[in-house]
Amino acid sequence: MRVVQLSVFARAWAVQPARFAWLLGAGASAAAGVPTAARVMDDLLVRMYAGDFNVVRQSIDADDPAILARIRAHYDGVNGLPKFGTPSDYSAVFEKAMPDEATRIAYLRQLFSECTPCYGQRVLGATITTGLTDLVLTTNFDSLIQMAATEAYASAGRVKRMLTVSGLQSTGRASTAISNSQWPALVKLHGDFQESKLKNLSSELQSQDQTYRQFVIDASRRFGLAVAGYSGRDQSVMDMLRIASEQPNAWPAGLWWLVRDPTHLSKSVLTVLDSASKAGVAVWVVHAENFDETMGMLADQADLEPSVRAYVNGLRPRGVVSDVPLPTGYTDDFPVLRLNALPIVSAPTRVLHVGVSPNITDKELRAKCMT
């Protein structure tokens, strides 16, 4: 696979941004405070442990690595659960801890209820409102992208493009979007919290909705695809990508897989990328630390309307180092100057006094100092 730096992708995207669709996984929401699958699994294990041993759950220090290691060891490959580290571990823990679907949905809603869009999601919202992004696919349940787009709409001073959201109970919206070019569209492959249907367990993820399969195949003829924050652990999604990538003229702007460590791609990701490459798709693996950094670099390359540019520039955090005015006036408090980062451990003990005229030149001053 061809591995490139993020700057290469940013330049390619800036030339034709509307030709890139996005596929976002949980990693794209990590900076927004959305818990990772590993954190969710640990929390579920703590809840089961408390119930199995009649312990007050709040008394368990879930931030203590030693305690978590002991709890994981109690369930790792035993007590009806698979070995941890296998593709089915998260789903198995979830189903054992909360076999009722309504309980699982309520639990996930509770986890995500206080999350707000991160910097990268807000920049993505700005590209949506300004016409630079037409299609976003995501396996996430949360509403952070919708929130980010709404915020960007408001910053532009007027509603420019309303975002169409398609979930598992509204798959027809996705079909309408692509057949009638009703962009922008957000397709939530595993469901939306605003609907009652979600896909979270392995048994639920074994097959992808046929409407979405066809939608992604149709989209592959129109867009390139940038994948960010997605590990490729959902086989139904990976099968869908593989089938779409094998279609004639798929992903005309290329398939770009953004990852922190290009040397540690999962087998399922490598299979899809290899299949796409053999089918003639331009495949690139992009070294990108995180979604915030990615969108920050894209924001630098993007052509944005003045109001949207002002909004995006305002999203950047203030630098830790900034200019500070020098102290003025006389004070008896010492030290007067506190701006240097290094301590002054010694200073000259003698000074040079030279009498000069007001019109002395630099050359004459140097000559006097040398005598």
pLDDT in tens, 336-363: 555 556 777 888 888 777 788 878 887 8
Q: What's the domain range around 54? A: 37-111
Same-domain check for residues 43 and 171: no
Tell me the CB-side half-sphere exposure of residue 271, using CA atoms within 13 A.
14
| Reported pTM | 0.76
User: pLDDT digits over 255-269, tens only?
Assistant: 999 999 999 999 999
Cα–chain center distance at 272: 21
Same-domain check for residues 18 and 152: yes
Q: What confidence tier does 333 reach under pLDDT thresholds 50, 70, 90?
A: low
- Domain boundary residue among 111, 135, 154? 111
Residue 249 pLDDT exceeds 60: yes
Q: Domain holding 139: CATH number?
A: 3.40.50.1220
Q: Is 283 helix (H, G, I), strand (E, B) or coil?
A: strand
Residue 172 lies in a domain: yes
- Domain boundary residue among 62, 78, 111? 111
User: pLDDT digits over 300-323, tens only?
Assistant: 999 988 888 999 999 987 666 666
Whole-number Å distance between alpha carbons of 197 and 341? 56
Residue 368 lies in a domain: no
Q: Please state, rounded to an integer, the average pLDDT across all residues of the chain.
A: 85
Say what the pLDDT of residue 195 is. 47
Q: By C-alpha distance, which of 228, 279, 217 is closest to 256?
A: 228
Say what the pLDDT of residue 330 is. 56
Q: What confidence tier does 205 reach under pLDDT thresholds 50, 70, 90?
A: very low
Sign of the Cα pseudo-torsion (91, 96, 100, 102, in order): negative
Residue 123 lies in a domain: yes
- Nearest-5° angle of CA 287, CA 288, CA 294? 140
Residue 326 lies in a domain: no
Same-domain check for residues 107 and 121: no
Tell me the two tokens of residue 192.
């939306």
Same-domain check for residues 67 and 205: no
Question: In total, how many domains does the chain have?
Answer: 2
User: pLDDT digits over 57-106, tens only?
Assistant: 999 998 888 999 999 999 999 888 889 987 678 778 888 999 888 888 78
Same-domain check for residues 46 and 126: no
Same-domain check for residues 288 and 186: yes
Q: Which residue has the higher pLDDT, 208 or 78?
A: 78
Same-domain check for residues 98 and 150: no
- Domain boundary residue among 86, 111, 136? 111
Inter-CA distances, 123 with 10, 25, 112, 282, Å: 14, 17, 20, 26
Stretch 167-193: mean pLDDT? 79
Same-domain check for residues 49 and 196: no
Same-domain check for residues 184 and 294: yes
Whole-number Å distance between alpha carbons of 123 and 144? 12
User: pLDDT digits over 119-162, tens only?
Assistant: 999 999 999 988 999 999 998 888 899 999 999 988 876 556 77
Q: What confidence tier does 176 reach under pLDDT thresholds 50, 70, 90?
A: confident
Residue 198 lies in a domain: yes
Same-domain check for residues 19 and 164: yes
